[in-house]
Amino acid sequence: MRRNYATTWTGAATGVLVAATSLISGSLGAQQPEWAGGAGRLVLTSADFSQGNPLPANNIYNADATGTTYNTCSATGAAGGDQSPQLSWRGAPPNTRSFAVVLYDTTAAFTHWGIYNIAAHTHELPQGAGAASSQYGSQILNDFGDQSYDGPCPPFGYAPDVHHYVFTVYALDTELDVVSASANFPANSETLYQALIKAGAEGHILARGELLALNEGSNPP
């Protein structure tokens, strides 16, 4: 059963990634959390959207209003594809051994996606890489309770209407040892963040990059 987005306002990771980003003069401020240490910078881009702009319909969640085909996750009501967007990054240090990617709604403190132990030779995730049983890495249970990508679906009528979604890629000189992760008991957002905190404290996070997207929901007409 899916969690009610509006009642999961604080999410499992409140305070962990909120400190990682802020909006400064209309652009994403690259504030390093304390646990990231002296991590360098990756350049993260997407073929599907640009910095600070809305995600296309193919990348948002599809929640049809009862008895209609209106998608309440979309500002226009357009159907959502619920596929993770294409992501590319460059600037990884030569001693990188793995990558991790997180999609976090900083407005609602809600984790939509987490994939870790992505191979070091990987510098791009194609659209749809966050599908269940992804071949690109190990995925956590997101705050919807799904072991996959779930796109934005901000609850309409809860201020602010526009939510900020931050994609973050981490380059590490090790693979993440995520506690309690197994086929029967996959890791969730909290255990992934705890693993990143530990990796950062031990100096294993070499670099990171962020990319901001926006989205707002709506009520059917």
CATH assignment of the domain containing 183: 3.90.280.10
In a domain, 143, yes or no: yes
Domain-located, residue 15: yes
Residue 215 has pLDDT above 50, yes or no: yes
Which among 169, 209, 211 has a CA at the least distance from the CA of 43? 209
How many domains does the structure of the chain reveal?
A: 1
Q: Does any domain span residue 179? A: yes
Give DSSP secondary structure letters for 93-134. -TT--EEEEEEEETTTTEEEEEEEEEETT--EE-TTTTSTT-
Highest mean pLDDT of the ranges 68-77, 113-122, 171-180: 113-122
Percent of the chain with pLDDT over 70: 78
pLDDT digit string, tens, across residues 92-109:
999 999 999 999 999 999
Tell me the sheet residues that pair with 166.
Answer: 104, 212
Classify residue 14: in a domain, yes or no. yes
Model confidence band, residue 12 (pLDDT cutoffs 50, 70, 90):
very low
Position of tokens 């990771």?
Answer: 13
Give the pLDDT band of residue 39 (cuts 50, 70, 90): low
pLDDT on residue 185:
76
> Is 210 among the domain residues?
yes
Range of the domain at 151: 5-216
For residues 213 and 6, the model is more confident at: 213
Check pLDDT > 80 for residue 16.
no
User: Pick the residue with more confidence: 186 or 179?
Assistant: 186
pTM of the model: 0.83
Domain assignment present for 22: yes
pLDDT at 208 exceeding the cut of 70: yes
Confidence of residue 67 (pLDDT cuts 50, 70, 90): low
18 within domain boundaries: yes
With respect to residue 221, please indicate whether it lies within any of the assigned structural domains: no
**Portion of the chain with pLDDT greater than 90, in percent:** 63
